[in-house]
Each structure stands twice: as structure tokens, then as C-alpha cells.
Chain A
Amino acid sequence: EIVMTQSPATLSVSPGEGATLFCRASQSISTNLAWYQQKPGQVPRLLIYATSTRATGTPARFSGSGSGTEFTLTISSLQSEDFAFYHCQQYNNWPSVTFGGGTKVEIK
């Protein structure tokens, strides 16, 4: 089973600053990676799929990159609504999938 590792566990950022989140796969997953955003008390929302394609409604300040085993989610200038929990998910062996442990982006 593919293990997904996200880092850092917590990222403290000031509003307006940029943030970079990392996701590493234990083996190559090509570009079969999705990112979700989850605000406190809410359901996860698909943010990005296929590593870099923004889902409907995802602002352009969110961008994804990577391939193989190393992936990043970049938020160019954090807005108040971006402080949330972010999860990566690989689907290289769909319908078998795995999630990373998540990164909490908090206000510095």
C-alpha cells in the first residue's frame, strides 16, 4: 500500500504571505494526486486533482506541482478563508487510495 507523508504537520503563516505544503509518496504515483481543503467542522472539499488541475471554484492563488513521489501545494497569498487543514490523496491504484496525514495552516 502506498504511504503518503505530508509536511509540515503545522504551518504558521501571516495573512498575505505565501505557503508551500509538501506531500511525498512511498513509491511513484505519476501525477495521480489530489488535494483537499477542510475547514474546522466542515467536510473536505476537493481543491486540486491530477496534481495541478484546479477543481471548480478553486481560486487561482492555489497551485499544485510535482510528479513521481514529490508534490507541492502552493498558496500564493493567504487569505483569511485559507487557514484550514489540507490533505493530499493518491489514486494511482484507484479504487484503492491513500491519504496523507494532513497539514494544518494556521494564522501566525
Chain B
Amino acid sequence: QVQLQESGPGLVKPSETLSLTCTVSRGSVRSVSFYWGWIRQAPGKGLEWIGSIYYTGNTSYTSSLKSRVSMSVDTSENQFFLSLSSMTAADTAVYYCARGGVSTGWFYNWGQGILVTVSS
């Protein structure tokens, strides 16, 4: 069973850029069968899809964050990354990385999530 693990800072200052890493084990980010996604959840709120990336580097982002988001993948390290710039308190959330099938569309495997708080 594939495993995903998020890592990064738990605290970010306003206006700074958040950088998160998702490390994949027992599976390969190079697989042609999967997309790799980032999803967040503000405290007490629903899930918000941030974006997804394919191993080739092809990306898709939600329109509301498109100007601030960047995703990349490192197949040699079996990792993919999220960068979110100009952070504000509204970006405080648990950030999840997840795996979705190319021919499906849902996220079956999720990381445990990492709480990111934006505060000075």
C-alpha cells in the first residue's frame, strides 16, 4: 500500500512563501497511472483542492489560488512539492497530499496531513 508523508514548516509568517514536500513510499511518483494532489482544510471547514501534478510536470491548479501556487515533482527522490506564496491567515489549514488515478478522478490514498499556521 502506497504511503504519503507531508513535511514542512508548521508556522509561516504573513507574506512569506509556504513550501511543502510530499514523500511517497511503497509506490512511485513516476507511475503513468497516477496524479499527485494537494488538498487543504481550514479549521472546521471543508476540503479545498489546491492542485495536482503528473510525473511529467503537467499541472492543474484551482483558479482561486492559481496566481500564488506552484507544484513540482522530483522523480529521483520520489517526492512532489507545493509552493504557496503571499501567505495570509486565511491560508491556515491542514495540508494533505494525495494520490489519484489518471483514469479515475478520486483520491484514494492520502497523507496524514500537516497543520500550517500563518502568524507573525
Contacts and interface: CB of A to CB of B under 8 A. Distances in A.
Interface in B100-120: 100, 104-108, 110-113
Interface string B79-113: 00000000000000000100010001111101111
Given A43-B96, A95-B60, A101-B46, A89 B113 contact: no
Contact of A95 (B35, B45, B48, B96): B35
Nearest to A103: B46
A34 B106 contact: yes
Interface string A67-108: 000000000000000000101010110111111111000000
B45 to A, nearest CB: 7
A1 B49 CA distance: 12
A101 B42 CA distance: 11
The interface residues of chain A, by DSSP majority, are classed as strand
Nearest to A55: B108
A32 interface: yes
Contact of A49 (B52, B60, B96, B104): B104
B89 to A, nearest CB: 20
Interface of A: 1, 6, 32, 34, 36, 43-44, 46, 49, 55, 85, 87, 89, 91-92, 94-102
The 6 closest A-B pairs by CB, nearest first: A91-B105, A102-B46, A94-B105, A34-B106, A99-B47, A101-B46
